[in-house]
A and B are shown apart, each in its own frame.
Chain A
């Protein structure tokens, strides 16, 4: 389910079935890495669409958490922990962070939720055919990861 009014009615009516929350993490920077931070955001946004579609009935896709790239790691971690705590407190059994920003790799162990890190691919430089097949591939892997985690935690 998406964070839209229409899906919320469904969510409220079937809450016990929605055990997974997904929070995309989007870096924002106006420094030298401005383009890179855009590409990361774009890439993850693109992937979350089919992901949500596939698992509509079991997950809620949150609008995402944007943060300034020049923030210290401790601050970033602190915020992420507030997020996951809130989600766990609200009854979600699985919390996933999805991002392209590698800083989270180094923070992974401090998080209770699952981190899914996908290196962003420079899609803008590709023609549509190549882009679609790469995306399809990435989505497939992503779906696998989710199913695996669900299975492991049964």
Chain B
């Protein structure tokens, strides 16, 4: 008899936990989905973005390319303009560098510091980068400029999401 009672209590316990668990899951799941969904979607759609830059017009001199796209930031969609420094390297490969300084995130400019020709210059704390994006030692930045993966479509340049470079 007493054995029976214990197992009944256990049975009830299990059932209640089970039902409670279902109820909790039923309540939480939509919330989690609701929270995570936009993030997932943004990832899925954030592939290559068209730019107004013609491939044939890219030279060896880094040129500023602005491109806009719709960004899904959680629940808002907003128009974002990004910039890339684009040029052809000595092998004729297209290079697209992010202009965001790896120190504290200012926007770097090409060839604007008189004392440092043919380098990227950050006006905030004097950060310098070589043409290939390598940070110049002795200036604040501690990493190379991020690089955008590139693609071509109908003669125009497409850019992916800028990625940090692996340390050599």
Contacts and interface: CB of A to CB of B under 8 A. Distances in A.
Given A55-B123, A57-B125, A17 B104 contact: yes
Nearest to B122: A57
Contacts of A17: 103-104, 124-125, 140
B136 interface: no
B162 interface: no
Contacts of A10: 104-105
Contacts of A58: 104, 106, 123-125
Q: Tell which of B104, B107, B125 has the most Cβ of chain A within 10 Å.
A: B104
Nearest to A132: B81
A47 to B, nearest CB: 15
Interface residues of B, number: 11
Nearest to A57: B104
Interface in B122-147: 122-125, 140
Q: Tell which of A10, A17, A18, A57 has the most Cβ of chain B within 10 Å.
A: A57
B97 interface: no
Interface residues of A, number: 12
Contacts, number: 36
Nearest to B106: A57
A17 B105 CA distance: 12
B86 interface: no
B101 interface: yes
B interface: dominant SS: loop
Interface in A4-61: 10, 14, 17-18, 53-58
A147 interface: yes
Nearest to B99: A54
B123 A56 contact: no
A150 B106 CA distance: 15
B106 A147 contact: no
A138 to B, nearest CB: 15
Interface in A56-105: 56-58
Contacts of B122: 57
B107 A54 contact: yes
Contacts of B105: 10, 56-57
B8 to A, nearest CB: 52
Contacts of A55: 106-107, 123-124
A54 B105 CA distance: 8
A23 to B, nearest CB: 19
Contacts of B140: 17
A103 to B, nearest CB: 31
Contacts of B106: 54-58
A150 B104 CA distance: 17
A55 B107 CA distance: 7
7 contacts: A53-B107, A54-B106, A55-B123, A55-B124, A56-B105, A57-B105, A150-B123
Interface of B: 101, 103-107, 122-125, 140
Given A17-B104, A53-B107, A57-B125, 6 more contacts: A54-B107, A56-B124, A57-B104, A57-B105, A58-B106, A58-B125
